[in-house]
Structure 1
Amino acid sequence: MPKIVDRAARREEILDAAARVFARKGFAASRIEDVAAEAGIAKGSVYLYFDSRDSLLTGVFDSYAARAARVPAELGEGTALERLRRLVRGTLEMLAEYPDHARVLLDVWASNPPIDMAAMYREYRGSIAELLREAAEDGELRDGIDERHAAVLVGTIEGCLVQGLVDPELSLLDLVEPVLQICVEGIRR
């Protein structure tokens, strides 16, 4: 009797293996064979799910983007600044939980990726800008705080991410509270 394979689970296994390989070797130096070996499957099996290395990279990025999209989708109720706190905390915790995906992002930033990074950042800044607009309407923000500060907040999170990735002595999770103190409490009226 042939073995029944859960295609969705196998696809995720391949993507996780690709993230580990891309993080370890860099995208440019990685081969489909490396991903297959990491996943413990034959090279041809990878091609059943992805037609190229670029489509694997896109899949890894889409997997990361889906995880990242869950953070703002799960903010729940509360004031805009309470939800912004949850957004910042959730983002930093997600980045700490998936360091290989974060390393792949660094590699992608340095190349000419087949991924629309600008659209991803626009969406992320847009989520934060909406919370800032709500907070301003509710009188929660200091004067002069506006949607431009969304880019500053994203830059702070990404800057902490880069430092945590290049310096193993720095814990991204240890930076959650300082980032919240500066980027959320620092803008509160």
Structure 2
Amino acid sequence: MPDGHEGSNVLPAEDANARTDQIADAALRLFARYGYKRSSMDDIAKEAGLAKATLYLHFKGKDDVFRAMLDLLGRRVEARCREVVTRPGSFPERLAALLQAHHGLAYASFGTGEHLVELKAVMNTIATRELQAFERIFSSFARELLTQAERDGEINLSRLPASADDWIASLLFASAGAKLGTPPSAADYARRLDAIASVFATALSR
């Protein structure tokens, strides 16, 4: 497949960003299918429909591709979360939608979850900053959702035994815990997230 811009190693910024996202998207599909260790730079290039030399114009190695993949997924999740907090609906409905937009979308992006344990270990090893940024996306929108719901009289934050930040952190832990053990299907995980949202929303209801 032709790469375009023949004879030049320099792409305009927009084209370079699009190419980077193209490679990151291909890597996401590949890592979901085969895991990190079994996916090579050759495999990523083929999945992206690019020459291996083109891949190395944008990335030094597989670790860099992995971090770009997380960044791309984070931007997709952030856009979905933003849609959730701006739509109408009750607090329990929107909280459930936020969990699905963040945790559910990320989980579904990795296919059956067969390689989730390995990928999470890789995240903790080489992509701590990207992983923390990913979690901050949820915390930010959850805080916004709480503020809106309290302003509209739907919830009472004074009912919390701790701070709103502690409530959000517990919500993150519960969502992560729902993946433990045998990896659930995306549909089963979505149902678990709905149940978590129901419990956490009830704790704040007036």
Q: TM-score, normalised by structure 2?
A: 0.69
Alignment partner, residue 167 of structure 2: 149
| Mapped partners of 1:90, 1:70: distance in 2 | 9
| Mapped partners of 1:106, 1:62: distance in 2 | 15
State how 1:76-95 maps to structure 2 within 5 Å. Answer: 76-78=86-88, 81=91, 82-95=93-106
Paired letter, 1:155? F
Relative distance call for 1:117 and 1:110 in structure 2 (3 A) is closer
| Mapped partners of 1:90, 1:122: distance in 2 | 14
The Cα RMSD (Å) is 3.5
Provide the identity percentage: 26
Paired letter, 2:101? G
The one-character-per-residue Cα deviations of 1:102-158 (angstroms, maximum 9, x if unpaired) are 737513344242634334323421321232233334442251264121111122222
- Residues 82, 141 of structure 2: 8 Å contact kept: no
1:66 Cα offset (Å):
0.4
Alignment partner, residue 144 of structure 2: 130
| Mapped partners of 2:147, 2:155: distance in 1 | 9
Q: Which runs of 5+ in 1 are unaligned?
A: none
State the secondary structure of the residue aligned to 2:58: coil
- Residues 22, 30 of structure 1: 8 Å contact kept: yes
Alignment partner, residue 10 of structure 2: none
State the secondary structure of the residue aligned to 1:74: helix
Alignment partner, residue 33 of structure 1: 42
- Residues 18, 56 of structure 1: 8 Å contact kept: yes
Q: TM-score, normalised by structure 1?
A: 0.74
Of 49, 52, 71, which residue of structure 2 is paired with 1:43? 52
Relative distance call for 1:25 and 1:110 in structure 2 (3 A) is farther
State how 1:35-114 maps to structure 2 within 5 Å. Answer: 35-75=44-84, 76-78=86-88, 81=91, 82-100=93-111, 103=116, 106-113=120-127
Paired letter, 2:48? A
| Mapped partners of 2:186, 2:150: distance in 1 | 37
Of 25, 50, 64, which residue of structure 2 is paired with 1:16? 25
- Residues 84, 131 of structure 1: 8 Å contact kept: yes
| Mapped partners of 2:193, 2:63: distance in 1 | 33
- Residues 88, 180 of structure 1: 8 Å contact kept: yes
1:44 Cα offset (Å):
1.2
| Mapped partners of 1:169, 1:94: distance in 2 | 9
Aligned residues, how many?
187
State the secondary structure of the residue aligned to 1:166: coil
| Mapped partners of 1:79, 1:170: distance in 2 | 22
Alignment partner, residue 173 of structure 1: 190
| Mapped partners of 2:21, 2:148: distance in 1 | 37
Instruction: Compare 24-33 and 46-55 and name the one that shifted more.
Output: 24-33
